């Protein structure tokens, strides 16, 4: 599927257990892995409509979508709302969106992943780069579709900042649930170090993940993975296996985005 890049297939990847933290979300999704089967329909289970994942970048939101696609055995489509805008003719943008949604319905049951919902609709309040009228018409088109859709298209949307999101999205009936997928706490960082070291076929008993979790306060899952990769490259360049000390050094050498943001606020 390709509609000017508005809609594209994403590849499924891994399982929900490959994601550290977000236990509530993972359980909710696992319980619904059979939601779109014939057996669930006969039982009378209502089909889930969608979830909204809130939180800073790099904490595994795309990963959740790919793992859900894998565990639910449903195709995963990404809708890029930024590409829906087309100012060449009045009504073209809404038509683009309606066509993309129709295409998604034609391959349903499926999961529709929409990244950064807040960015797409920041213009509805009237921003410089997209005209406010078009933006609010797109928003209207999308909300109506969400409300009225009959086909089993499960919407998984993400947003970094909830306050930038039009309030309509938070109203009951639009998403089944809203989950925070935010910076991992110490226990979750332990899980993430363990997941990524195991993924690289390393004997986890050689590492003290308690210590690694302690020194990585404020790091996202993506930043933890980056620190491990940096440690591996460093050791590889010296023709040796990487160790606990390499990861500590790599972690200390990087500065998590969250800390930069805190400093900006304080400055």
Q: Are 250 and 231 in contact (CB under 8 A)?
A: yes
* Dihedral angle of Cα 59, 61, 67, 68, to the nearest 10 degrees: 140
| Smallest separation (angstroms) from ligand ATP to the CB of 223 | 8
- 125 Cβ partners below 8 Å, 6+ apart? 132
Looking at the Cβ atoms of 139 and 183, the one nearer to ligand ATP is 183
Given strand 50-54, what is the order of strands in its sheet? 7-10, 76-79, 110-114, 153-159, 50-54, 177-180
Q: Are 20 and 191 in contact (CB under 8 A)?
A: yes
Name the nearest CA neighbour of 229 among 261, 197, 188.
197
Looking at the Cβ atoms of 59 and 155, the one nearer to ligand ATP is 59
Looking at the Cβ atoms of 59 and 197, the one nearer to ligand ATP is 59
Looking at the Cβ atoms of 36 and 63, the one nearer to ligand ATP is 63
| Smallest separation (angstroms) from ligand ATP to the CB of 247 | 15
Q: Are 24 and 53 in contact (CB under 8 A)?
A: no
Looking at the Cβ atoms of 40 and 222, the one nearer to ligand ATP is 222
- By CB atoms closer than 10 A (0-12, 13-18, 19+), residue 89 is exposed
| Smallest separation (angstroms) from ligand ATP to the CB of 63 | 4
Looking at the Cβ atoms of 32 and 189, the one nearer to ligand ATP is 189
Q: How many CB atoms lie within 10 A of CB 86?
A: 16
Eight-class DSSP state of 254 = S
Taking CB atoms, the residue at the shortest distance from ligand ATP is: 221
Q: Contact positions toward ligand ATP, by CB under 6 A?
A: 19-21, 57-63, 184, 192, 195, 221-222, 225
| Smallest separation (angstroms) from ligand ATP to the CB of 92 | 28
State how far the Cα of 229 lies from the Cα of 238, in Å rounded to an integer. Answer: 14
């Amino acid at each position: 599927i390709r509609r000017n890049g508005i809609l594209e297939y994403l590849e499924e990847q891994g399982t929900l257990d490959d994601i550290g933290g977000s236990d509530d979300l993972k359980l909710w999704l696992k319980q619904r892995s059979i939601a779109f089967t014939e057996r669930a329909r006969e039982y009378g289970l209502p089909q889930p409509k969608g979830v909204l994942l809130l939180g800073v970048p790099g904490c595994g939101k795309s990963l959740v979508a790919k793992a859900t696609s894998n565990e639910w055995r449903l195709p995963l489509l990404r809708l890029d709302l930024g590409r829906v805008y087309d100012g060449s003719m009045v009504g073209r943008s809404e038509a683009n969106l309606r066509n993309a949604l129709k295409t998604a319905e034609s391959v349903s049951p499926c999961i529709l992943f929409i990244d950064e919902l807040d960015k797409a609709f920041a213009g509805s309040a009237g921003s410089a780069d997209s005209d406010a009228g078009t933006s609010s018409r797109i928003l209207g088109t999308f909300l109506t579709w969400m409300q009225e859709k009959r086909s089993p298209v499960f919407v998984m949307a993400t947003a970094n900042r909830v306050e930038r999101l039009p309030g309509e999205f938070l109203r009951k009936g639009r998403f089944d649930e809203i989950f925070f997928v935010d910076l991992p706490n110490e226990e979750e960082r332990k899980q993430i170090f363990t997941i990524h070291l195991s993924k690289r076929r390393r004997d986890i008993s050689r590492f003290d993940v308690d210590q690694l979790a302690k020194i990585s306060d404020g790091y996202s899952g993506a930043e933890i993975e980056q620190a491990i990769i940096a440690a591996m490259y460093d050791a590889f360049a010296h023709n040796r296996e990487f160790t606990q000390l390499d990861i500590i050094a790599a972690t200390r050498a990087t500065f998590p985005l969250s800390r930069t943001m805190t400093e900006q606020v304080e400055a």
